[in-house]
Chains A and B, each alone.
Chain A
Amino acid sequence: MNGLRWLREHLVLVLGLLVLAYTFVPIAVVVLMSFNAPASRNVYAFDAFTLDNWANPCADPGMCDALTRSVQIGLLATLVATVLGTLAAFALVRHDFAGRSATNLLVFLPMAAPEIVLGSSLLALFVATGFSGRLGFWTIFVAHVMFCLSFVVVAVRARLAGMDDHLEQAAMDLYATPLQTFWRVTFPLVFPGILGAALLSFSLSFDDFIITNLNAGTTTTFPMYVWGVAQRGVPMQVNVVGTVMFLVSVAIVVVGELGNRRRLAARA
């Protein structure tokens, strides 16, 4: 009877944990399948254990090409979006100007519009300006910067708005020049926000399919590669990439959390 009472008291927590467990089911399958030696091209079951997929991740060179391209586009788009977005966030929080709410609206809309509409608008522009034959790396890059920008602005703006300016005023009182104040005080304080925004940008860019697929021409990114092989038999190496992505992002979160704890502990 004790068990039943415990369950009644913790019902919500147990249900919540069940939902959480459900979100990990496909991840577990991805990890499992990364060790699978499939008996045929059409894989529906775990046939035999192997380390081959991990030993030869590039068995299909097409996959690694696509992966490399996704990383390149991701890094480049993240760099540009983070710089432009951070500048804009500073302007929005620290400066006053006409057309502020219009600007906020403009930043908000790309995040709210369905991807298919964003993607088809850009393609319509590229077609109208005669770029339809030159779709590829650079059109994907342009698109990715566009949708990452808004997320960067929002993330950095939140960090800046949550910061009071006492430390900066103190630096100025101690005769720091505006430039010194910025690089020694403001920037280090905002940096975690910028870093978070950059990580978010990279993962948005790396994982985007709908907008990319419309504007890629014959260039293939990793999500597009997966889309292609989904029709003709998925190599198990795709699951190796999926597993690595999962592990890397968990590692980043854990390192970030540990850093936070250490900072908080140092402050206390």
Chain B
Amino acid sequence: MTSTAGVAPPVDVPGLPAEPPGELPPPTGRRRGGIGYLLLLPGLLWLALFFVVPFYSLVATSLYDPAGSDFRGYEMTWAVGNYVDALQEYWRPLLRSLWYGGLATVFCLVLGYVLAYAIAFKAGRWKNLMLVLVVAPFFTSFLVRTLSWKLILADDGWVVNTLQVLQVLGDDGRLLATPVAVVAGLTYNFLPFMVLPLYASLEKIDPRLVEASSDLYAHPAVGFFKVTWPLSLPGVVSGTLLTFIPAAGDYINAELLGSPNQRMVGGVIQSLFTDANDYPAAAALSMVLMVLIVVMVLVYVRRAGTEELL
């Protein structure tokens, strides 16, 4: 979503890469009404039927009488208690999801910034090739990739053996079924969601601004923190959001690389729906997860002072 408040209209500054045309200002030949609605209708209808209405169903389901079942049917009793029960029973996987998702986002930011910076400023004519290479590994199935990590981190694998020799891990120490493996898997799987937005905003920075700071005797580190970093903030904000939201909702990494002690809330919701058929509890938990994520995102965006990015 691009709100236009506070965004200056694109201006061509000589030597600066032209601002990519955003949504506004509107093109001149824009026609009103009529056929526009017709073009929009099928897509909007699909989203209304299968995105908006389902969300309403989710809210309703979360308030059903918890005694209902597939056979007896469900009754709408405004059972707000579902939320209390869900929170009481599942607050651990809920907090764990936010914690693991947050950790993975921080690691992605560190790794992703280095990579995006290298591509934007140091790759020269290899820029396009490196960008392709960033995305390429992620076209292999998510699950196959994650299973591959399971092999790499396995108890008798070379990673564990090396760490044991280096005394980082004890002799019976392991990586699989630990939070380390889950966070590592999340970090790996969501890295491109961080790299691409970071690259997009680093790439727009005029290198002459950084040169100017060093002409004015700023240490390279000062130049980085006073010039490059602030200018890349839009990319940092969108990258962290694009990483955190799916990472906190993911349960594939937790189930394949972790143990029940690393269970994340997505897995709980999934099994409440499909194994336990406890729809009201599952729906309530799903709602809680979404509200928590929305609140965290709003607070974060406000603190980062980048509301206009949303």
Total residue contacts A-B, CB cutoff 8 A: 285
In Å, the complex CA distance between A70 and B241 comes to 29
B300 within 8 A of partner (CB): no
- The residues of B that contact A65 with a CB separation of less than 8 Å are none
Stretch at the interface among B137-145, B166-174, B229-237: B137-145
B156 to A107, Cβ gap below 8 A?
A: no
* Nearest CB in chain A: distance from B33 CB, A: 6
In Å, the complex CA distance between A120 and B37 comes to 30
- The residues of B that contact A114 with a CB separation of less than 8 Å are 245-246, 248-249, 266, 289-290, 293
**What is the size, in residues, of chain B's interface with A at 8 Å between Cβ atoms?**
99
A93 within 8 A of partner (CB): yes
Residue of B nearest to A45 (CB): B156
B273 to A120, Cβ gap below 8 A?
A: yes
B30 to A95, Cβ gap below 8 A?
A: yes
A97 to B249, Cβ gap below 8 A?
A: no
A58 within 8 A of partner (CB): no
B140 to A246, Cβ gap below 8 A?
A: yes
- Interchain CB contact (< 8 A) of A223 among B3, B123, B142, B246: B142
In Å, the complex CA distance between A85 and B39 comes to 9
Known contacts being A20-B134, A103-B44, A214-B273, is A12 close to B117, with CB within 8 Å? yes
> When each residue 141-153 of chain A gets 1 if its CB lies under 8 Å from chain B and 0 otherwise, what string results?
0110110011001
B54 to A122, Cβ gap below 8 A?
A: yes
- The residues of A that contact B118 with a CB separation of less than 8 Å are 12-13, 15-17
In Å, the complex CA distance between A245 and B188 comes to 18
A48 within 8 A of partner (CB): no
Residue of A nearest to B116 (CB): A16
* Besides A44-B156, A91-B40, A110-B51, 14 other A-B contacts (C-beta < 8 A): A15-B118, A16-B119, A20-B133, A24-B137, A30-B144, A30-B145, A44-B157, A90-B39, A97-B40, A104-B23, A106-B51, A110-B47, A120-B273, A209-B142
B132 to A88, Cβ gap below 8 A?
A: no
B286 to A88, Cβ gap below 8 A?
A: no
The 3 closest A-B pairs by CB, nearest first: A16-B118, A95-B36, A114-B249
> When each residue 92-120 of chain A gets 1 if its CB lies under 8 Å from chain B and 0 otherwise, what string results?
11111100010111111110111111101
Residue of A nearest to B114 (CB): A15
- Interchain CB contact (< 8 A) of B289 among A90, A101, A116, A241: A116
A-B contact pairs, 22 of them (CB 8 A): A19-B114, A23-B134, A26-B149, A26-B152, A27-B148, A33-B148, A45-B156, A84-B42, A87-B39, A96-B31, A97-B37, A97-B40, A106-B51, A114-B245, A114-B266, A117-B58, A120-B286, A128-B61, A203-B139, A230-B147, A239-B144, A242-B148
A30 to B39, Cβ gap below 8 A?
A: no
In Å, the complex CA distance between A91 and B35 comes to 8
Stretch at the interface among A49-57, A190-198, A249-257: A249-257
Known contacts being A114-B249, A116-B286, A128-B57, is A43 close to B151, with CB within 8 Å? yes
Known contacts being A20-B134, A24-B137, A209-B252, is A97 close to B21, with CB within 8 Å? no
